[in-house]
Structure 1
């Protein structure tokens, strides 16, 4: 079996075959064409790369389109693997060899990358979030600004407000271009507590919604309680890892749902009555909401208020 590790940087790609040769190509169209020609005779069973912002995306997309199995893995897991192997040194060539060894030992499952339309949607969602953050920062500065800079801040705030309105329009238009997204957007927003921005972010950054089990989707997002036990010791369960941007948005949705969604409100109040801390109760509501959304996307059924059966 043949396992390949590729360390990605802005300008170059360092390639290593597990137990074999290493080489370098440029990280551009010409370099990728050369790489595909070099990988062809090797018939790799798995190629492993780490995410590096936008720099790994062209590589992963090109390899997948060529029919090569690619796994984009968590850098923290690879670094932990390196420490377990006693490898502390770090260079691009060593990292490529480490990724090849990680591919052979761990054999992570390749996952399909989001299609081009989903990546464009994610870019629009991310840009909107950036504009919201900038607008919030400028408004906070304006509260305590001196007269000499208030005009500049006010002008910039007006610009950002218009840019945010344009971003909202672009998002709505992008969703309207796809009948599938339109249906999914309407389905998600039928749940009390889930608004347009939450629905858009879930469509862009959680395309697995509706395709995984309730445990798998909760672990993917990072809201599954993880055990911390050893011998007689029973540690406190905690949630960590996962997709931070999805988790943050679910927190706000659960916060609203705990007041206005009858299912989440009952869940929240029941846990508080049992003596659970408010934050723990809210985390439980986040997971409950995610499981509900996952089931709705899987079945295609809109939200309906549960009714209690009477004898």
Structure 2
């Protein structure tokens, strides 16, 4: 197998072919990141390595949306793709004692990472079209809600300062527009989910869990459709909810939440866990046990968030509704 590292930004793609992993011989190249350059990249990979697509492993670190078009194109051409976890790639780079961080050095590191991890990682598989559409809709909803929050903050400041009636009017009109668009987009997302039986069923199952409402079920329906979790712990790790141990000197057994996953999921899970602490008997039982063990409020909520994801995983995996009370 030939190992290639891609460092992808908005405007360009830095490539590195690890010609010889033993002697660390390599060859690098830079292309533009646009659809016109994709065929050039494919041709360079095949002609330079003098092999076929099925014998080439490309390692990429996700960069927002900028890596996606090229990855879908190369997957369709038969290339093997490793989508590296950014935190693990960073630790690997630190282990290599990489001094200077550049796009070129990142591409070199990713080629080496792909070679080192080839036997322990799964090749990337693209999401189904309906999952990609749901992902795009959720991204847009998140952007609109963020914009609305910023405008509301500006409105609050404007009304407090009373500096300009025109500015206040503009802010109110913008917020009203965003409210309307958010409402329409939520309806479109719900209609999209309901159009696909598997997505619709999974969302229905998730909403049988006390604490999981429409907001959280949208996000989790996508996550469980897009990510192939085999264990509940993997789902918790993806959301950044697994404990991370800190020990130094006399400080022993101190743990914190890893927070390695998407922060917007954790922020929504936080509220879901608070609600579940009142209405979900499994979460209530854990909450009482942790209180009796002297845990702090934040530690309890963190544990409840993790427990809630475990419950969601079980409901989806078993395709069974949550039992409202113990039998």
Tell me the TM-score normalised to structure 1 length: 0.89
Residues 14, 226 of structure 1: alpha-carbon distance in 2 compared, 3 angstrom cutoff: same
Q: 1:268 to 1:59 in 2, by over 3 A?
A: same
CA distance in 2: counterparts of 1:239 and 1:168, whole angstroms: 31
- Helix, strand or coil at the partner of 2:7: strand
Tell me whether 83-92 or 248-257 shows the greater mean CA deviation. 83-92
Match of 2:85 in 1: 74
Q: 1:231 to 1:66 in 2, by over 3 A?
A: farther
Matched residue SS, 2:70: helix
In 2 relative to 1, CA 136–95 (structure 1 residues): closer, same or farther, beyond 3 Å? closer
1:166 aligns with 2:201: no
Task: For residue 230 of structure 1, report the CA deviation from its aligned partner.
Answer: 7.1
Partner SS, residue 5 of structure 1: strand
Give the C-alpha shift of residue 67 in structure 1: 2.4
Structure 1 residues 287-302: aligned runs within 5 Å: 287-302=306-321
Give the Å deviation of 1:278: 0.9
| Alignment-derived partner of residue 271 in structure 2 | 252
What runs of 5+ residues in structure 1 fail to find an aligned partner? none
Task: Show the counterpart of 1:58.
Answer: 69
**Stretch deviating more after TM superposition (278-287 or 268-277):** 268-277
Match of 1:32 in 2: 38
1:93 and 2:101 aligned: no
- Work out the CA distance in 2 between the residues paired with 1:238 and 1:207: 28
Q: For 1:1-311, what aligned pairs fall within 5 Å after superposition?
A: 1-18=1-18, 19-40=25-46, 41-43=50-52, 44-107=55-118, 108-144=121-157, 145=159, 146=162, 148=165, 149-207=167-225, 211-229=229-247, 234-240=252-258, 241-307=260-326
Secondary structure of the residue aligned to 1:110 is coil
- Structure 1 segments of 4 or more deviating over 6 A? 230-233
CA-based RMSD:
2.3
Q: CA deviation at 1:70?
A: 0.8
Deviations 1:266-308 (A, max 9, x none): 2212211321111111111111111111011011001112325
**In structure 2, distance between residues paired with 1:61 and 1:159:** 34
Residue aligned with 1:284, SS:
helix
Q: Equivalents in 2 of 1:30, 1:134: separation in Å? A: 33
Give the whole-Å Cα distance in 2 for the aligned partners of 1:192 and 1:208: 23
> Is the 2:6–2:15 contact (alpha carbons within 8 Å) kept by the matching residues of 1?
yes
Contact 1:49 1:71 in 2 (8 A): yes
- CA positional deviation for 1:210: 7.2
- Counterpart contact for 1:49–1:70, Cα < 8 Å: yes
Contact kept, 8 Å, 1:210 with 1:297, in 2: the verdict is: no
Could you tell me whether the CA contact under 8 Å between 2:199 and 2:225 is conserved in 1?
no
TM, length-normalised to structure 2: 0.85
Contact between 1:119 and 1:204, CA under 8 Å: does it hold in 2? Answer: no
Contact 1:210 1:294 in 2 (8 A): no
- As a proportion of its length, which structure holds more strand? 2
Closer, same or farther: CA 139–34 of 1 in aligned 2, 3 Å = closer
Aligned length: 308
